[in-house]
Each structure stands twice: as C-alpha cells, then as structure tokens.
C-alpha cells in the first residue's frame, strides 16, 4: 500500500488526536487554579481585561486562555464578561467548603512532571520519585504540601459520610476508628451525623497538629480523638466500626490481607468494616481512571496499586466477614461494607 492509497481518515482519527491532546485541558485547569481565576469571579462577572489583570494573565494569551476555559465548560462568557460556570462556582472557588480543586493542584505540583516518567516506570517497574523514605513521612515534613494533599483527599468526605451512613444501621454503633484518617475530617462528619458515636482517628503522629485544628474548628474535640501510630505495625483500638479509606491501595497483598484480618479481630461482633479506594471494575475494562490511577500508584509506591471490588470482597470473606454492600462512592471511588458476624 502506498501513501496515496489511504482512504479519507483524518476525522476518524479524531479520538486519537483528542487523547493525544487531552493533557492540554488538564494543564489549563491546573494553571487556572494556580492563577485563581475562579476565585476572582466568585462575586460576579468581570470583563476580560479586568479578569486577566486580577489573575495576572498577560494580554497576549488572555482571550485564548479564557475562551478555552469557556470551551472546557469552566467559564461562561456574555456581554458582562466572564462568569464561573455552575461547575466552577461550586467546586473551584478557593476557600469554599465544596472546593474540589485540590486534586488538580496536586497534579500541578507533582503528578504532572511525574507522569512524564511513565515510560521509565513501564520499563523498570520502579517508582519514579526520589528513593528512600515513606511517602507520607516525607509529605508531613512539608506542612503546606500536607495541607494541600489533605484538601484533595477530604474534598468528597461529606458524600462519603452520607453514603457510609446509608449502607448499614448505625444506631447500635458507639465507637469508630478511621484508620489512616489523616486530620479527622471524615470522623468529624460521621460523629456529627450520628449523635451516639465517638471516633478515633489513627494516623502518623505528625498529623496531630492538623487534626487538632480541624476538630477544634468543628467543635467535636470531645468526640473525636487522635491516636498516633503506624497502622501497618501497631495494634488498632477495638471499635464497632472501622474505616479503611484510601489505605489498602498503598499496600501489598500480604499487608492488605493482614490489615483486614486485624480489623476482623479488633471489631466487636456485629461491627462493620468499610473499605474504599478508586477500585477497578471487576472485568478490568471500563474504569479508565482507576486503571490509570493504579499505574499512577506505581509511579509513587513500590507496592501500591488499585484493585477490583471482587478482590476486596475476597480478602474480606477470607477473613471471616460477610460482605453487605458494594457501592460507587464520590467521584471515582467504590466502597465495600462488610460485617463481622454477631
């Protein structure tokens, strides 16, 4: 076949071109957050020149960049100038409780350059971050980075608390341990939703300061306490409910099974373990962001990966649990709930 034999094909290749250029849109979101475009529009529309001035965008590129944000459905444009779209107004104005830009901010700071090393990961199987030191220990030495990471992780906790609340009857539960619960944001929401409940947030000691800040702000310091430790090695306090949120994906298979077994041992009979992560669909062919996210775990962790909800259920039943629910959660997660027989 010579080149000239090829049939008309450019438009049919559009999905390839869109995928090849998809990162332009990610970068536009990241830079818009870095320049705080959406906060500048929090109180109403602005003409282009004024918006560009406030966000520090040079006139040469202002029209194209801001109109690209219109095409991405993050801004709208009319005679009054640029407005936040409903999506941006809810999720991208900094300081609002519903702010969900933390994940994209993490992308800006670290994930984007890291994914530039994807081919090296694929060839070697080795993480592409500087060697030595635990990811979280390193993170917690940098308070601003730690706060951003937690903002990103906590963005969907209200939905998570609501879904966990709906999956089982909480009226008999008095105590909860959120394992790897960071600054206690989810535990705070759960005790506020369930008046009879007290909670323990179990995480590395350096998180303590951010925890104290969060529970004081919410006025629940008497109902949510912090216990410093390493959940891989240290004994977990006994409780009616355990939450394993975004912790199993950072561990190898033996540690996952070990953690599930220790949860079974530590739970009171009738108690419930909730496990959530960005789980892969059981047939491993649909959830693009979970599969790519699993590759992304390998960029930062020597053992981490995402896993299917079927995998998760098998670890739970092998440990003696009865699985009671599997449900989509927040933007990209899945939760599995399992009960220790009474």
User: Which residues are CB-neighbours of 252 under 8 A, at least 6 positions away?
Assistant: 303
> Is-catalytic flag, 83?
no
2-41 residues near a copy of itself, rule: CB under 8 A: 2-31, 34-35
154-213 residues near a copy of itself, rule: CB under 8 A: 155-160, 162-163, 185, 188-189, 192
Residue 303 is encoded by which pair of tokens?
């053992």
Q: For residue 122, state whether it binds a copy of itself (rule: CB under 8 A).
A: yes
Q: Please give the Cα distance from 327 to 123 (Å, whole number).
A: 35
Select 30 or 176, whichever has its Cβ closest to a copy of itself: 30
What is the smallest separation between the CB atom of 262 and a copy of itself, expressed in angstroms?
Answer: 26
Q: For residue 92, state whether it binds a copy of itself (rule: CB under 8 A).
A: yes
Q: For residue 293, state whether it binds a copy of itself (rule: CB under 8 A).
A: yes
314-333 residues near a copy of itself, rule: CB under 8 A: 328-333
Select 14 or 342, whichever has its Cβ closest to a copy of itself: 14
Cβ burial of 12 (10 Å; 0-12, 13-18, 19+) is exposed
Query: Which SS3 state, helix, strand or coil, does residue 75 take?
Result: strand
- Give the residue, chosen from 40, 46, 51, 57, that forms a contact with a copy of itself under the rule CB under 8 A: 57
What is the smallest separation between the CB atom of 240 and a copy of itself, expressed in angstroms?
Answer: 21
What is the smallest separation between the CB atom of 176 and a copy of itself, expressed in angstroms?
Answer: 16
Q: Please give the Cα distance from 275 to 325 (Å, whole number).
A: 11
Stretch that binds a copy of itself, among 57-65, 171-179, 201-209, 222-230 (CB under 8 A): 57-65
Query: Looking at the DSSP assignment, which residues form a beta bridge with residue 77?
Result: 82
- Give the residue, chosen from 42, 68, 129, 167, that forms a contact with a copy of itself under the rule CB under 8 A: 68
User: Which residue out of 83, 194, 246, 249 is catalytically annotated?
Assistant: 249
Cβ burial of 5 (10 Å; 0-12, 13-18, 19+) is exposed
Instruction: Single out the residue of 271, 261, 214, 207 nearest to residue 236, CA to CA.
Output: 261
Select 4 or 342, whichever has its Cβ closest to a copy of itself: 4
What is the smallest separation between the CB atom of 280 and a copy of itself, expressed in angstroms?
Answer: 8
DSSP characters over 172-187: T--EEEEET-TTSHHH
Stretch that binds a copy of itself, among 84-92, 138-146, 227-235, 319-327 (CB under 8 A): 84-92
Instruction: Single out the residue of 196, 199, 202 nearest to residue 170, CA to CA.
Output: 196
Q: Each residue of 37-71: b (16+ CB within 10 Å) or e?
A: bbbbbeeebbebeebbeebebeeeebeebbebbee
Select 111 or 267, whichever has its Cβ closest to a copy of itself: 111
Residues that bind a copy of itself (rule: CB under 8 A) add up to a total of: 108
Instruction: Single out the residue of 320, 179, 304 nearest to residue 261, CA to CA.
Output: 320
Q: For residue 341, state whether it binds a copy of itself (rule: CB under 8 A).
A: no
Stretch that binds a copy of itself, among 86-94, 129-137, 141-149, 263-271 (CB under 8 A): 86-94
Q: Please give the Cα distance from 299 to 286 (Å, whole number).
A: 21
Residue 160 is encoded by which pair of tokens?
């998570």
252-291 residues near a copy of itself, rule: CB under 8 A: 280, 284-289, 291
Tally of residues, the chain: 342
Q: Please give the Cα distance from 302 to 255 (Å, whole number).
A: 13
Q: For residue 131, state whether it binds a copy of itself (rule: CB under 8 A).
A: no
What is the smallest separation between the CB atom of 212 and a copy of itself, expressed in angstroms?
Answer: 16
- Residues involved in catalysis: 249
């Amino acid at each position: 076949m010579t080149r000239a034999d090829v049939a008309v094909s450019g438009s049919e290749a559009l999905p390839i071109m869109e995928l090849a250029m998809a990162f332009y849109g990610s970068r536009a979101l990241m830079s818009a957050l870095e320049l705080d475009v959406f906060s500048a529009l929090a109180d109403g529309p602005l003409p282009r020149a004024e918006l560009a001035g406030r966000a520090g965008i040079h006139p040469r590129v202002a029209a194209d960049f801001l109109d690209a944000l219109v095409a991405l459905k993050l801004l709208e444009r009319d005679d009054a100038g640029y407005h936040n779209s409903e999506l941006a107004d809810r999720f991208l104005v900094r300081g609002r409780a519903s702010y969900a830009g933390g994940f994209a901010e993490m992308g800006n700071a670290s994930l984007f350059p890291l994914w530039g090393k994807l081919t090296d990961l694929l060839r070697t199987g080795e993480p592409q971050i500087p060697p030595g030191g635990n990811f979280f220990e390193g993170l917690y030495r940098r308070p601003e980075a730690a706060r951003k990471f937690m903002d990103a992780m906590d963005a969907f906790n209200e939905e998570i608390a609501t879904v966990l609340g709906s999956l089982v009857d909480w009226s008999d539960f008095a105590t909860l341990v959120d394992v790897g619960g960071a600054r206690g944001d989810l535990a705070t929401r759960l005790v506020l939703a369930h008046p009879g409940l007290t909670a323990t947030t179990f995480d590395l000691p350096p998180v303590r300061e951010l925890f104290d800040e969060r529970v004081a702000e919410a006025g629940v310091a008497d109902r949510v306490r912090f216990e410093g430790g390493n959940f891989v090695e240290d004994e977990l306090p006994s409780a009616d409910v355990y939450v394993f949120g975004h912790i199993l994906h950072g561990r190898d298979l033996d540690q996952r099974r070990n953690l599930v077994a220790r949860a079974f041992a530590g739970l009171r009979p009738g108690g419930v373990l909730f496990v959530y992560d960005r789980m892969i669909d059981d047939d491993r062919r649909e959830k693009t962001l979970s599969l790519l996210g699993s590759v992304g775990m390998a960029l930062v962790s020597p053992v981490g990966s995402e896993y299917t909800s079927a995998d998760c259920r098998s670890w739970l039943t092998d440990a003696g649990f009865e699985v009671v629910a599997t449900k989509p959660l927040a933007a990209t997660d899945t939760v599995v709930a399992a009960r220790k027989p009474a």
